[in-house]
Amino acid sequence: MTATSTTPDAARAVQQWTLILGSFTSFLVGLDALVVTTALPTLHQEFGAGVEGLSWTVNAYELAFAASILTGSTLGDRFGRRRMFVIGLGVFTGASALCALSPNVDVLIAVRALQGIGGGIAVPLALALITDVTPPDMRGKALGIWGAITGVAVAAGPLVGGAIVDGLAWQWIFWLNVPVGIVIAVLTTQKVGEGHRAFGKVDPVGLALATLGVFGIAQALIRGNDAGWTSASILGGLIGGGISVVLFVIWERRIEFPMMPMKLFGNRSFTGGCVASFVLMAGVFGLGFLTAQYLQLALHNDPLGVGLRLLPATGVALLVSPVAGRLADGIGEQPLVMLGLGLQALGLVLIGALVTDTSGYGTIMGPLFVTGAGIAIAFPTVTTAVMRSVGPVQTGVASGISNTFRQVGAVFGVAIAAAIFATEGSYRTPSEFVDGFRPAFIALGVLCTIGVFAGFTIRRSTSVATPAQAATSTPS
């Protein structure tokens, strides 16, 4: 089946199935990014893992996810987006089973990386497939729905993780992916078209430089406190990672088929959306990484209680994201991105400013809601800003680049939160935990304010299609 030679009714059916299956894939992968957060204290107790090991159970997934996105997008353009989407989903599903069978934290970290590779291939191609079959003037609504369903993963991740850890065992947070992944893969082969193909080439040098850059800097931030900030491995990671990023940019500007075409960054809406995506996800994952541990280790809630208490930050996405998406069709993304990231920054700073070693959950409940509302507004609108800023042939690479920024942001959010926490606090007592928790949240809030300025660069003229543009850009 293809999405290019069908009747109007059949085309609508393909559009609906693509949106449903692509959204639920993002839900599944997003769920696994956050579901482990409520299992972190359990992993700490069962495997004896410290903050470094715990952070790598999150960051191995996110780093591998980020490193595989652009390669997966390129392979999708070369061999077919649907085909590579199904392959990526298969890798993710198989790795989920291996995660459940992990005997120690080191094996878990390794197979979490494999799981991230599968997710990194599947999610951007799901987004590209949705964009392929959706007219530009309807993408705000479609991506609002995608954002809401993905946002449910943010809401359900800690809650599902807590319920499973309490009622069954932590391994079941991974076993549940297996049947769901198989069903989505089978339905995709039957209901979804191949999408656009640009016949790009794989860029192994670019992939190696980007991976070395992100990995070097991220591992240095995570390990700096334990290894010593002046140690060879830490300085080598920071300096070598920075050099690798610079070389990556130089290399991508010179080759004929770059995995990250630098000319796209001349588009203000595209660049602003990518930067906003980076800081948005840094705040989301920094919040999830530390708050789940704070609620369980400092306030002594059980895993299910942690998931329930995170709902003010995560549960609003289902209601707010679709509304934000529809508003973006009418007023453009700029004001919504700025509002969303401003609220996220405000909520994070308030948490850091208000929490004390004697305060309870009531102190952070209001700021959690403020942060969650901001995330729910910004999540679909930064995506729409990027995807509406390019033509249909570029949707695959645009989706890959924006997802790379998003996932690298998640890696750095956890790395920065872990580094500041390890420097200022510890797990020894609730008081010492709060000593590290507070400055980490203030730093995350300050980081998210950068996204407000990035949102200002988004131009409505390039992010909201006119009827004429919609007519010429709709897949036929």
Residues 383-393: pLDDT tens digits? 778 877 776 66
Q: Extract the tokens encoding 178.
A: 């297996």
Eight-class DSSP state of 137: G
pLDDT at 127: 76
CA distances, 218 to each of 35, 273, 436, 442 (Å): 21, 22, 19, 20
Q: In this structure, which long-range contacts are made by residues 40-43, counting pairs with CB atoms below 8 Å and at least 24 apart in sequence?
A: 40/289, 40/292, 40/293, 41/292, 41/293, 41/296, 41/297, 41/303, 42/165, 42/170, 42/303, 43/105, 43/108, 43/170
Which two tokens mark 245? 């990023």
Q: pLDDT tens, 284-319?
A: 888 877 887 788 777 777 766 776 787 777 767 667
d(C-alpha 167, C-alpha 164), whole Å: 5
Residue located via tokens 């304010």: 449
Q: What is the model's pLDDT at position 5?
A: 47
Report d(CA 310, CA 364) in Å as an integer: 10
189 vs 351: CA distance, rounded Å: 46
Question: Which amino acid belongs to residue 278?
Answer: F
**In this predicted structure, what is the pLDDT of residue 196?**
56
Spatial CA neighbour of 96 closest among 196, 3, 11, 172? 172
Report helix angle 51-79 to 40-47, nearest 10. Answer: 120
pLDDT-flagged residues of the chain (< 70)? 1-8, 33-35, 37-55, 136-137, 139-141, 143-144, 147-148, 150-162, 165-167, 169, 193-202, 218, 222-223, 225-226, 303-304, 307, 315, 317-318, 391-396, 460-476
Taking alpha carbons only, the member of 117, 2, 9 closest to residue 63 is 117
Q: Where are the alpha helices (DSSP H) in 294-333?
A: 303-309, 311-314, 317-331
Give the whole-angstrom CA distance, residue 13 versus residue 43: 44
Q: Are the beta carbons of 380 and 146 closer than 8 angstroms? A: yes
Q: What is the DSSP string of 331-344?
A: H-SHHHHHHHHHHH
Closest CA to 28 of 210, 179, 232: 179
pLDDT recorded at residue 136: 66
The DSSP 8-state label assigned to residue 394 in this structure reads: G
